[in-house]
Structures are given as structure tokens and as C-alpha cells.
Amino acid sequence: MAGVTDVIFRKLCKELGADVMVTEFVSAEGIMQADHRTRKYTDFSDEQRPVGVQLFGADGERMGEAARKIIDWKRPDFIDINFGCPVNKVVSRNGGSSLLKDCPVLAAVASGVAKAVGDQVPVTAKIRIGWDQKTVNAVEVARILEDCGMEAIAVHGRTRAQGYGGEADWEVIDAVARAVSIPVIGNGDLTSGEDVMRRKAETAVSGVMIGRAAMQHPWVFREAKHFLETGERLPEVTSEERWALVLRHCRLAVEGGRYGDERQTLTAMRSRLMAYCKGFPGAREIRQRLCQVTSVSEVEDLAAGSLAMEESVVA
Ligand SMILES: Cc1cc2nc3c(=O)[nH]c(=O)nc-3n(C[C@H](O)[C@H](O)[C@H](O)COP(=O)(O)O)c2cc1C
């Protein structure tokens, strides 16, 4: 997820049970221009494997060259192509979900990348179910992608027009999973082990993908796996554990230096930190303070204050 699944967040998700992860998407053009910032998006460490690097663009040949460059640099475990991004900046350049409206170009992009990559690593694709409600075409698109050599497809069960509103349509995801013989990964609105179990039981997907729930609660991976294995819920994550993770994320981000010095890093992380705090006792006040933090020590003070307040309430 752009702006979210950077190398540090992925480290935390891996520790908490995520099996397969994908980088923030990168522009094929940025890669071709050897842009330093774009290259940073493809960073990962070996412990995070299997990791895919996700590319977007509208020109199959350039995308193929970009994929080959990434393989030379980093040897990711797979290359993923984004056909789902709804953002205007991407769509207006014929990337992301706009290709769902133009199947010939979508096919050219997918086969361009598959041909360029050959059998070095698998190529996969991520789609939405269609451009809008009138043009839901995920089954057709998935068949094209399979013919173009994609080895798995992740389907977010919304149209581009929906953005992130409404509900994901798991009937369409199921229809896609039944229409192709490659693995289909279902995605949309999963927040718990119960959700994962239900979707796996009710549809033909080979796996599931969790997005936004992990931003607030990266323990979701561990919890879902435990639930699938035992049918039981893990005890709730404690406030100490939550704050420990928030602080660890801050410290690792400052150490990593990708967003600049400490002040710049904390400023860049504010919305991420606020996402973690949903459900914290006194969340409203904590969020107000988090949107002003500029140093790790301020977050430490907030954590200590919040934990002390909770203890006094319990006492
Ligand atoms: C902030 C944000 C950034 C995202 N960036 C990407 C991206 O770069 N590539 C992608 O395939 N999907 C991206 N997505 C979509 C998610 O991967 C996922 O398909 C969507 O959020 C639905 O799943 P969920 O209900 O589990 O969140 C992004 C979503 C959000 C909220």
C-alpha cells in the first residue's frame, strides 16, 4: 500500500505473521529513470521474503524493462502489476485501474512484463472488479491475464468508481476464482480471523489479502492465522504491546532515515501513528497530540501518560 507498506512496516507485519507481502507500488518510468526515491520503494530485507515488487504503468515494453531492472537489483520473489489503483494521477496516465476499461492495453502490459521477465520470477496482477458498476468485468480481465502468463491474481472486490466506499463484492471475487485455473487471492474488508475463515469457506479463493486492517492493527495476521488453525481467538493485544509497537515503529523509522531527520520522520508518520490508536483508551486526545509530534521522546511521553492513566482508571 502506497505510503504505508514501506520496508519498516513490512518488517513489523512479517513478525506478526504476514506470509506474503508486496512493496508500495512503483512507477515503471521512475525505475527506468533510475530515480533514487523510486528505487527506495523497492527496498526489502531477506527476512521479509517472499516479497513482490508492484509496478504500475501503461507501456508493456517499458514496464518489462523496469521489471528486469528490479530483478537485477533486488531479485524479489515475484513482480506484481497494478491494475487497481483508483488515484487520478495514475489513472490519467492510463495506469492502474484505467486499464480495466481497455483490455487490449491491459493485455499488452501484462504480456510485455511476462515476456521480459521470462522464467526468472513469477509475474502476478492485482485488479479491481471493474471500472464502475455498469462495467464489472473482472472475470473477463482475469481470463485475459491468465492467457498473458500471470501466475496469480489478487482481486479487490470494488470497482474503481467505489474508491474505498461501499462493500467489497465477494461474489465477483468467487466468480473470478472459479473462472481461471491460476490462484486467485481475495481482498476487501477483512478485519479478523472470522472474516478470513468465512471468505475462504464461501468462495473458491486460494488465499486472502489484508490491507487497511493491518494499518490499524498489524496483529491481524497473527490473530487470523491462529483462528484458522485453532478456531479460537487470541487474547486481545494489551495497551503495553500496542504502545511498544508504536514506539518501535518510530525508532526504526528514525534509524532507517528514509523520511529525513527525526522531526521529518515523525511528521511523515503522524497519520500512520494515528491509525494505530483506534481503540486506545482516550484515543481522541491521543490522536490530537499525535498529529503534532516531532520527536520519539514526545511519543514516549504520550505512551507513558496513556498507560499511567489506564492503570489509574483500573485501580
Ligand atoms: C493508503 C492505501 C494505499 C494503497 N496502495 C495500494 C498500492 O500501492 N497497490 C495496491 O495494489 N493496492 C493499494 N491499496 C489497496 C489495498 O491494497 C486494498 O486492495 C484495499 O485497501 C482493499 O483491501 P482492505 O479492505 O483489506 O483494505 C491501497 C490502499 C490504501 C488504503
Distances (CA, A) of 43 to 24, 68, 83: 10, 16, 22
Neighbours of 189 (CB within 10 A): 18
256 lines ligand 1 (CB under 6 A): no
Distances (CA, A) of 198 to 5, 127, 259: 26, 22, 39
Residue 191 pLDDT greater than 70, yes or no: yes
Question: CA–CA separation, 209 vs 295, rounded Å?
Answer: 33
Give the mean pLDDT of the chain.
Answer: 95
Nearest to 293 by CA among 246, 256, 244: 246
Mean pLDDT computed over 271-287 = 88
96 lines ligand 1 (CB under 6 A): no
State the SS3 of 56-71: ECCCHHHHHHHHHHHH
User: Residue 311's pLDDT band (boundaries 50, 70, 90)?
Assistant: confident
pTM over 0.85: yes
User: Residue 140's pLDDT band (boundaries 50, 70, 90)?
Assistant: very high
The C-alpha angle with vertex 14 and arms to 10 and 20, in degrees rounded to 5, equals: 85
Nearest to 142 by CA among 133, 129, 123: 129
C-alpha neighbours within 13 Å on the C-beta side of residue 293? 28
Tens of pLDDT along 58-95?
999 999 999 999 999 999 999 999 999 999 989 888 88
- 8, 48 contact by CB (below 8 A): no
pLDDT of residue 315: 64
Mutate to test the pocket of ligand 1, among 156, 173, 184, 190 (most ligand atoms within 8 A of CB): 156
Question: CA–CA separation, 145 vs 176, rounded Å?
Answer: 11
Q: Which residues are catalytic?
A: 85
pLDDT greater at residue 123 or residue 38: 123
Cell numbers 521512475 correspond to 30
Helix (H, G, I), strand (E, B) or coil at 279: coil
